[in-house]
């Protein structure tokens, strides 16, 4: 786990505590359910059983899907579009799911959808700075400490977003989603050794970036 004043678990929790994002995700969950319900109506197989199985195995991992999409697109609005598209794809090709870890299977679909989205957009994505008011659970009495904490989170956020996508995705899956090396290998289609190597290099780059930013801010 990486630690630069804020643990991965802490910035994972802050990313999930936003009430605004929670409402958006609930709305998107309803949109997704309605969308693949329409697909199901046109299916010639046992639509009801298929839908129920999909909801039981895949739907519970929507937060993880949003988390990965958010860090790969670096944009909240775009991540919602990507996740909805990914869920429609996942349902459309649910017959290809042969059992095993549903979360890994879904995140592979999300990852591929993000790549398709990047190619379709054909533009450089701008860095999005988190709204601290939305991602902070409470106001600390020590304002100076709160400002330092906010600065550290901003540095960490910016450094993660500056990582190459190949490093960023394994860091998100390992340190935010707490997935095993085997699960990450399944999602990315990489050997486990390559996953471990990329993660090590990602953490090293992140540490170097954060240390450099801290030195600059201390001048």
136 token code pair: 């902070």
* CB of 106 closer than 8 Å to CB of 172: no
Identify whether residues 24 and 96 lie together within a single domain.
Answer: yes
Looking at residue 153, its pLDDT comes to 76
Residue pointed to by tokens 């579009």: 81
Tally the domains of the chain: 2
- Domain for residue 135, yes or no? no
Looking at residue 151, its pLDDT comes to 63
- Domain for residue 167, yes or no? yes
Rounded Cα distance, 113 and 149, in Å: 34
pLDDT in tens, the chain (219 residues): 444 444 444 444 444 443 345 555 555 555 655 555 544 444 445 778 888 899 999 999 999 999 999 999 888 888 999 999 999 999 999 988 888 899 999 999 999 999 888 887 755 444 434 444 443 444 444 555 554 566 667 888 888 888 999 999 999 999 889 999 999 999 999 999 999 999 999 999 988 988 887 676 655
Looking at residue 176, its pLDDT comes to 87
68 token code pair: 């990965």
Question: What region, left, alpha or beta, does residue 84 occupy, with left being phi > 0 and alpha being psi -120 to 50 degrees?
Answer: alpha
Looking at residue 124, its pLDDT comes to 45
Instruction: Give the contacts of 93 (CB within 8 A, at least 6 positions apart).
Output: 109
* CB of 175 closer than 8 Å to CB of 8: yes
Looking at residue 24, its pLDDT comes to 53
Looking at residue 18, its pLDDT comes to 39
Last-in-domain residue among 90, 121, 152? 121
CA angle 115/50/64 to nearest 5° reads 40
Between helices 62-73 and 8-16, what is the axis angle to 10°?
110
The dihedrals phi and psi of 8, each to the nearest 5 degrees, come to -55, -35
Identify whether residues 73 and 159 lie together within a single domain.
Answer: no
Q: Which domain holds residue 158?
A: 143-218
Identify whether residues 116 and 147 lie together within a single domain.
Answer: no
Last-in-domain residue among 59, 88, 121? 121
Identify whether residues 30 and 80 lie together within a single domain.
Answer: yes
- Domain for residue 131, yes or no? no
Prediction pTM value: 0.61
Looking at residue 50, its pLDDT comes to 84
- Domain for residue 129, yes or no? no
């Amino acid at each position: 786990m990486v630690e630069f004043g804020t643990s991965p678990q802490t910035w994972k929790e802050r990313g999930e505590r936003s009430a605004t994002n929670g409402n958006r995700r609930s709305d998107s969950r309803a949109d997704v359910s309605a969308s693949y319900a329409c697909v199901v109506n046109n299916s010639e197989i046992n639509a009801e059983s298929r839908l129920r199985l999909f909801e039981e195995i895949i739907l519970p991992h929507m937060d993880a899907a949003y988390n990965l999409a958010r860090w790969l697109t670096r944009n909240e609005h775009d991540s919602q579009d990507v996740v909805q598209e990914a869920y429609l794809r996942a349902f459309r090709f649910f017959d290809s799911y042969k059992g095993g870890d549903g979360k890994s299977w879904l995140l592979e679909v999300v990852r591929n959808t993000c790549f398709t989205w990047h190619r379709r957009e054909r533009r450089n994505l701008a860095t999005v700075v988190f709204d601290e008011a939305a991602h902070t659970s409470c106001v600390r009495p020590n304002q100076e400490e709160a400002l330092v904490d906010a600065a550290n989170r901003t540095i960490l956020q910016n450094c993660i977003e500056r990582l190459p996508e190949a490093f960023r995705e394994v860091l998100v899956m390992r340190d935010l989603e707490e997935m095993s090396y085997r699960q990450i290998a399944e999602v990315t289609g990489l050997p486990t050794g390559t996953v471990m190597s990329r993660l090590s290099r990602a953490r090293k780059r992140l540490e170097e970036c954060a240390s450099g930013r801290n030195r600059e801010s201390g001048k």
